Amino acid sequence: MKKTNITGIHHLAIQANDFAATCRFYEALGLTPFHSWTLPEFNITHAALLQIPGSGSFIEIFDKDANIATQGRRKAPGESVVAGALLHLALTVDDVEVAYAHALSLGAASCVEPGELSLGQPPLKVRNALVYGLDGEVIEFIAFVA
């Protein structure tokens, strides 16, 4: 008998302040539109799944008024991002510096500049950088170092 029925991460969801701008941002990062919908019973006017190419993983984007399940409390209008248990979205990339510069050129803000980390013993070496996306989400770009 299998110990788990989990086969991967399907999606991470973002509630966008500007739905179209957030979709354009993730598409410009390289994700591809997969499906879109509305669900009036949840006040969802716009929702979309954008696929990470070559994977079964997605980023799901909802409009700002969508009534969807969320962790923690929602931020109040004009309030800065409210921290909760979900810390960041990490995307595997071939080149951390290229991904970081590209995200900044699309309107993301710098959080942590590109650098190398050595994690644990034996050391696992990674290069990473973090940006704040258009809606305040923290996006990490990460690559293993040989």
Q: What is the 3-state secondary structure (H, E, C) of the chain?
A: CCCCCCCCCCEEEEECCCHHHHHHHHHHHCCEEEEEEEEHHHCEEEEEEEECCCCCCEEEEECCCCCCCCCCCCCCCCCCCCCCCCCCEEEECCCHHHHHHHHHHCCCEEEEEEEEEEECCCCEEEEEEEEECCCCCEEEEEEECC
- Report residue 53 as tokens: 């190419």
CATH superfamily of 1-69: 2,3-Dihydroxybiphenyl 1,2-Dioxygenase, domain 1 (3.10.180.10)
Contact call for residues 134 and 20 (beta carbons, < 8 A) = no
| Antiparallel, parallel or unpaired: β 138-144 and 89-92 | parallel
Location of each CATH 3.10.180.10 domain in the chain: 1-69, 85-145
In this prediction the pTM is: 0.87
Tens of each residue's pLDDT in the chain, 146 residues = 678 877 889 999 999 999 999 999 999 999 999 999 999 999 999 999 999 999 999 999 999 999 988 877 777 788 877 767 678 999 999 999 999 999 999 999 999 999 999 999 999 999 999 999 998 899 999 999 98
> How far, in Å, CA of 145 to CA of 26, rounded?
25
Give the position of tokens 């979709």: 23
**CATH architecture observed for domain 85-145:** Roll (3.10)
